[in-house]
Amino acid sequence: EVQLVESGGGLVQPGGSLRLSCAASGFTLSSYDMHWVRQDTVKSLEWVSGIDTTGDTYYADSVKGRFTISREKAKNSLYLQMNSLRGEDTAVYFCVRGRNLNDCWGQGTLVTVSS
Amino acid sequence: DIQLTQSPSFLSASVGDRVTITCRATQGISSKLAWFQQKPGKAPKLLIYVASALQSGVPSRFSGSGSGTEFTLTIGSLQPEDFATYYCQQVNSYPRTFGQGTKVEMK
């Protein structure tokens, strides 16, 4: 079964750091473009970052310079290192598979940035 | 960046109604558009990709059309399980963007 499972969310103070993980099963993660998408309680879905099969990375302007996406083939996992966190980064973060066809989403992990 | 505007933002409908949601892009994106359905507390579910292709397992009452800057999602006959929020997403270029969502509520 194709599945994505996120972990690593939690409560962090403004200015702090957090690392999200996404474990893939049922497919080889590095053979697909992969993304992080977030959703807060008020706004719509927001694409955050992506990594393609060649390893090129992409970021939303709102997180550029603060977040880093990466993957580890041996663990079939995707990561999002989040630094200098702000209140507006509070959201549920989803790990998503695909380029033109985002057919598999994780269940999401909640990140809360608050003092 | 490409902006997507969905209309309407809210829609009240009854079971059996034909429902149409529009998504407009600020620049041409060919057919690089997807539609998702989201229910409370759940991840979005892919319905339509490349504007008109039905994702495997999605009921045929869902259909998509359009290209360039204007796209539509149609639900042929609304079923009780279809009350949800629907989003469009462009996959033509980075940064990927989503529409603001259309909430379909029971009349």
DSSP SS3 for B48: strand
CB contact under 8 A, A44 and B99: yes
pLDDT the model gives residue A13: 98
Of A50, A61, A106, the CB nearest to B43: A106
**Residue A101 in this model has a pLDDT that exceeds 90:** no
**Contact residues, chain B, for A63 at CB < 8 Å:** none
- For residues A66-88, give the mean pLDDT: 98
Q: Report residues of chain B scoring pLDDT below 70.
A: none
Note the Cα A48 to chain centre separation in Å: 7
- For residues A42-46, give the mean pLDDT: 84
B83 touches chain A (CB under 8 A): no
CB contact under 8 A, B87 and A44: yes
Closest chain A CA to residue B32: A100
The Cα–Cα gap between A58 and B98 comes to 16
Using CA atoms in the order B54, B58, B63, B69, what is the torsion angle rounded to 10 degrees? -60
CB contact under 8 A, B98 and A60: no
Residue-wise pLDDT tens digits, A52-63: 999 999 999 999
pLDDT the model gives residue A100: 83
B44 touches chain A (CB under 8 A): yes
pLDDT the model gives residue A30: 95
pLDDT the model gives residue A43: 67
CB contact under 8 A, A58 and B91: no
* B22 closest CA partner among B105, B100, B106: B100
**Contact residues, chain B, for A99 at CB < 8 Å:** 91
pLDDT the model gives residue A44: 79
pLDDT the model gives residue B62: 98
CB contact under 8 A, B44 and A35: no
Q: Residue B54: in which H helix or E strand, if any? A: strand B53-54
